Amino acid sequence: MKQELTPTHTFQFIDEILTQQSINLLSLNPQKRLITSFAELGNLITEQNTEIELFATLQETLESIVCSQLQNFPDNIFWDFDFLVSSMFRQALVADEGAIDFLKAFGEKMGSLIEMFGTKKEIRFRYVHDFMYGFEWARWVQKEPQKRAYIEPFSPVFLDYLLVKGKELLQRINHGQVTSYKLCDTGYRNPFTFSREPEDEYRLLTCLAEEELIPVAVWNWNASPVWNKPFQEMRQQLALKLNIQPQKH
């Protein structure tokens, strides 16, 4: 017989970890300033499923993802997780290999990705925004929409693509073959021509969110990811409009 949850099982521990790190938990949601707490996200799960092993594995997986982001992206600005949690939960329930095995494999892939692209390795991206908010996913879908339009932004298929892309990028960096990924004067890599200093990144992304130009509204549990808009071009145009300065190298 499966164990059922009791009211003491919450995601609040993850909130406490973030509080201890003094993170300013900003949301990209135009309607509010701060993210949905993990305790609230845990409540959304228990409304639909109270199986204790599934909930505990979800909590452990999320905790490892959050801790990995804290370690590898200490300058990250926006911390929405609603749609990621909802996507993990939905995918786990229908996984062929079973929910627990799916979540463990998912956590390992996410940890590898975050470490590979973060500040402790050679790629040294400053933020997880392009991954979490779906910019990379939208670019990927646009290349083969007939095949990819129905693949979720946080599906293992897309995570595997990013792992391969990361390894290729590392090889190019190690062989001095990068042109658009040169290190900035701040020590981070920025593939864009415009500055992504924190104040610039904050202004640009909040404006994109207000104009509904974020591919994945991760602040929304029931988000409907959008891939068929020219997000990259619109981002460049908005950076010009906001007079964000060119990136210094």
Domain ranges of the chain: 12-241
What pLDDT score was predicted for residue 90?
96
**In terms of pTM, does the model score above 0.95?**
no
d(C-alpha 57, C-alpha 102), whole Å: 10
- State pLDDT tens for residues 169-216: 999 888 877 666 677 777 888 888 899 999 999 999 999 999 999 999
- State pLDDT tens for residues 72-88: 999 999 999 999 999 99
d(C-alpha 203, C-alpha 244), whole Å: 9
Question: How many CB atoms neighbour CB 98 within 10 A?
Answer: 12
Share of the chain above pLDDT 70, in %: 93
Do residues 32 and 215 touch, judged by C-beta distance below 8 A?
no
- State pLDDT tens for residues 183-194: 777 788 888 889
* 166 DSSP β-pair partners: none
d(C-alpha 30, C-alpha 86), whole Å: 20
Question: How many CB atoms neighbour CB 43 within 10 A?
Answer: 12
d(C-alpha 220, C-alpha 44), whole Å: 12
Do residues 208 and 78 touch, judged by C-beta distance below 8 A?
no
* 154 DSSP β-pair partners: none
